[in-house]
Structure 1
Amino acid sequence: MNFWVLLLLSVFLLEVQNGVSQETKNKKDANFRPGRKKGKGRYPKVKDKEVGGKLQSILTQVLEKGRFLRLSDHTILNSGKTLELRCKGSKIGWAYPSYLDTFNDTRFSIEQNDKFSQLTLKSPSPADTGEYSCWVILCDGDECEKDTDRTSTSYIYFTDKDELFVPSPIHFEIVFMRPDIPATVPCRVTSPKTTVSLHREMPPEEIQADGKLISYNPTKGFILQSPSLEYTGAFYCKAKSTTKTTPQVSNKYQLLYLEVPSGPPYATIQASSILVTGGDLFNITCTVLGEPEIDVKFIWTYPGQDQRPVIIQDSRRLINRGVGQIVRISQSVMIVDDVETIDFGTYICTAKNPHGETSVATQVNLLSH
């Protein structure tokens, strides 16, 4: 009897030992992958994954060879260190602060490779603070379009303890206020942690931001939700930082109130004479009264087009229609000299701006004796 008890006990202990050994082996196998080395650093390699049915950001920052950081909506970086952004795709579109194109900045470049596109900005400064985005371009033959589902954006702050405001080449900027849309005093900062206040120059006073009628966004500036004549005048912003004891003052902003609402051009047309005879000279003037910073393009349709030489002169100027109320007058004048029979008929002026277009017409006829 004792023999069988000892035999059963030995078998039981052997099974327990095998189970513990197998469990330990499984744990080791789970932690070991052939050919896989332990990664260095805190940033893993990035792979495209879906979260909640949507693709994660395709915009990444190159940290070192083979290592990337997927960017969020806002990114804070130090000035001076080269920025390298990468987007995966065989055809990629980019958006970035527009002045990098305007001044043909040699620090800036974009290179498209077979599988990705890379944006490089050397020695970034606080002036480079702004929105950077990329998107996949889908093409069907010669027709291409932006893939809105594969678009990523990050507002990048380039911080500098000596530059609290994003520098601007304009030292005295005009801000136009309209009754139908919010106005923005664009004193942006190089760190979202900076405390900013809005001040009127004369009479000296601080304009309180209540978060509703007046609010501050570090990527835009102070936003006036309901602009009015009350806010006309010279303003500036003041920034306070935990690293600086003296507040920093921004550029000055001249706020002007406009009576003209946003929309297609309001155009009028007038001929110096609607009855002319052969050999005469006449002119037709097309006039648009509109927003000061909105450009207007004129297009003419007239008798004898492409057959008769005419002179067209365009001009524009700002006029003051009251205290703080500025509008822009844009004019196009067509001059017809040494009138011939082909010049009689309808003259059409079409004025275009980003909001739309307006056409006006007048008739020039033969003066009968």
Structure 2
Amino acid sequence: MMNLILICLLCGLYGVLAKDKEQKGKYSVPILDVKTRQLVLDINQTLLLNCRGRWELSWAFPSGLATDQVRVEKSRCGRTRQHYCSRLTVSRSQTQHTGQFRCRYEHKTQRQTFIYVFVTDSQQPFVDQGMNPHVLYMREKHPLIIPCRVTHPNVTTTLVKFPNHSLSPDHRNIIWNSKQGFTIRTPTFYYIGPFFCQTITDGVTHKSRIYFVHRPVSNIMDVYLNTSGSIEALKGDRLVVNCTATAELNTRVNITWDYPGKNSNGGSTSKRILKHQTHMLFYNILTIPKLQRSDRGLYTCRVTSGENTKQVKATVTVYDRPFIRLKPRHGSVMEVQAGQKSYRISLKLQAFPAPEVIWLKDGMVAAEQCSRYRMDGNSLIIRDVAEEDAGKYTVLVRIQEHGLYQNLTLTLVVNVSPQIGEKAVSLQDPGSVPRGSRQVLHCTSHGVPPPHIQWLWHPCPSKGLPAAPQA
């Protein structure tokens, strides 16, 4: 039994080693029939490449070479025909065919081998030529590549910033590669703008196409809606929400909406861009023509630029019909002390749409009766509270366009501290009165609620002793 287990383990180990050898063997990647890493052909010359591998093969070639300009022939090859072979033929090669040709496994494309082919023409030293400028984007902390590739490995070129400022390779920051172009390892703001490459062949100056280097800016300064964080509307109303983003000049942003009815295509968006001297304004307006109850919920405007994202949200509430809900906040009777600097008469009011609110005092418009009365939102403020402020206060709430009306009456009691009238009048000392005579003393008092009066008698003190008060 032990021998059987040992045999199985050895077989498994052999299988793993065999598979590993297969992965790392001669045909772990396809093999081309050329020994060099690059070829130089003359224009109109035929390119012929043969590739052999362990599995099915495919080719990748420069974008300037159309598929119908290439002929690919596949076959099984080797002594026992266990290998796969593929032949690529390009007749009448052109300068735009310059580039990398790759042979790779069809189902394992990361396993590949390549060769770079130059198709040279003394009258056309640059691969990419044309009148239309090509836009290149400069990214922060990334090298900038100006891809003015050439059709011969020995062509020397100069980088020119428009109109005529020449830059030569310094092998530190500006590096030239005939298969890639110029690489600026640490580009600065100087490299923003139009550039082209230039070379001289047989005394003739040749120029590449123009490359316009653009530095995208992605600084979103602010994002806001044209409404507060809460939106209320009636069923069937039209909802319009404008999301505005401010950003630095040269910034481009993408504005998207998330909202309950997005998947049902219930809304539409329109965009607008304005350029100011110091910043850009981007507008994205979301419109829902007829609101339904299913449209209530959270509405999110999301703004992205590069790796930066900002968003703003609003909650939409949809009511079936207009309404007024009105009730006292602290009961129907209120008390305040005369002399108080201010007093607020408030209530609990819920209504939609926003109603008209009018306060009456004893049946007349309060604000027209006294300058000490003023409205603050739906509340009535009384300044320097006085006794005459006591009375009936009625609030009228109406939504006239929908024919809705409600009112509520509250009673305000103003408490007044008791005062003795005689203390306000300076009386002369009545002096002495005859013993046994009848005297009448008066005490006049006022207050809210009515005060209680109590008389105290202070008898004359005995000689040298203070008198104790008696009732």
> How does the TM-score come out when normalised to structure 2?
0.50
1:126 is the counterpart of 2:90: no
Instruction: Confirm or deny that 1:58 pairs with 2:30.
Output: yes
The answer as to 2:231 corresponding to 1:275 is yes
Contact 1:267 1:358 in 2 (8 A): no
- CA-CA distance at 1:350 after TM superposition: 6.5
Q: Which residue of 2 aligns with 1:65?
A: none
Which amino acid in 2 is paired with 1:236?
Answer: F
Partners of 1:292 and 1:109 in 2: CA distance = 46
Quick one: which amino acid aligns to residue 311 of structure 1?
S
Contact map agreement 1:260 1:291 (CA 8 A) in 2 = no
Equivalent residue number for residue 310 of structure 1: 267
In 1: Cα distance, 2:251 partner to 2:72 partner:
31
| 2:196 pairs with one of 233, 236, 252 | 236
Cα deviation for residue 53 of structure 1 reads: 6.7
2:215 is the alignment partner of 1:253: no
Match of 2:293 among 324, 341, 344: 341
Structure 2 alignment gaps of length 5 or more:
1-21, 77-83, 319-350, 353-471
Question: SS at 2:126's partner residue?
Answer: coil
Cross-structure match for 2:323: none
CA contact (8 A) 1:57 1:71 kept: no
Aligned equivalents of 1:132, 1:289: Cα separation in 2: 44
Shift in CA distance, 268/85, structure 1 to aligned 2, threshold 3 Å: farther
Q: 2:43 aligns with which of 79, 83, 93?
A: 79
Superposed CA RMSD in Å reads 4.3
The letter for the 1-side match of 2:47 is L
Query: Which residue is 1:160 aligned to?
Result: 121
Q: Which residue of 1 aligns with 2:391?
A: none
Aligned partner of residue 205 in structure 2, secondary structure: strand
Is this contact kept in 2: 1:84–1:120, CA < 8 A?
Answer: yes
Aligned to 2:60: 95
Q: Percent identity?
A: 22
1:223 aligns with 2:183: yes
Deviations 1:153-183 (A, max 9, x none): 2221111121111133453233333331111
Aligned-pair CA distance for 1:214: 0.7
- The residue type paired with residue 302 of structure 1 is Y
Q: 1:357 to 1:210 in 2, by over 3 A?
A: closer
The residue correspondences of 1:28-47 to structure 2 (distance < 5 A) are: none
C-alpha displacement of 1:120: 4.0
Mapped contact 2:30–2:105 kept (Cα < 8 A)? no
How far residue 231 of structure 1 moved from its aligned partner, in angstroms, is 2.9
Go from structure 1 to structure 2 and tell me whether the alpha carbon gap of 1:158 and 1:321 turns closer, same or farther (over 3 Å shift): farther
Relative to structure 1, the CA distance from residue 309 to residue 181 in structure 2 (aligned partners, 3 Å threshold; closer, same or farther) is same
Unaligned 5+ segments in structure 1 are: 1-49, 61-68, 139-145
Deviation at 1:257, TM superposition (A): 3.8
- Structure 1 residues 111, 259: CA separation in 2 closer, same or farther (over 3 Å shift)? same
Aligned with residue 184 of structure 1, among 145, 161, 164? 145
State TM-score, norm by structure 1.
Answer: 0.62
Q: Contact conserved, 1:107 with 1:123, CA < 8 A, in 2?
A: no
Q: CA deviation at 1:251?
A: 2.2
Cα distance in 2, alignment partners of residues 223 and 59 from structure 1: 31
- For the residues of structure 2 that align with 1:175 and 1:188, how far apart are their CA atoms? 15
Question: Offset at 1:193?
Answer: 0.6
> 8 Å contact 2:218–2:308 — kept in the other structure?
no
Distance 1:235 1:330 in 2: 30
Cα contact 2:128–2:148 (8 A) shared by 1 = no
SS where residue 230 of structure 1 aligns? Answer: helix
Deviation string 1:20-50 (CA, Å, 9 cap, x unpaired) is xxxxxxxxxxxxxxxxxxxxxxxxxxxxxx9
Contact 1:198 1:236 in 2 (8 A): yes
Distance (whole Å) between structure 2 residues aligned to residue 200 and residue 189 of structure 1? 19
Query: Based on CA coordinates, which of the two structures has the bigger radius of gyration?
Result: 2
Give runs of aligned pairs for residues 346-361 of structure 1, distance below 5 A. Answer: 346-348=298-300, 360=311
Hey, what's the Cα distance between the residues in 1 that align with 2:35 and 2:142?
A: 32
Number of equivalenced pairs: 287
Secondary structure of 1:70 counterpart = coil
> SS of 1:131's equivalent?
strand
* Greater RCO, 1 or 2 (C-alpha within 8 Å, sep 6+): 1
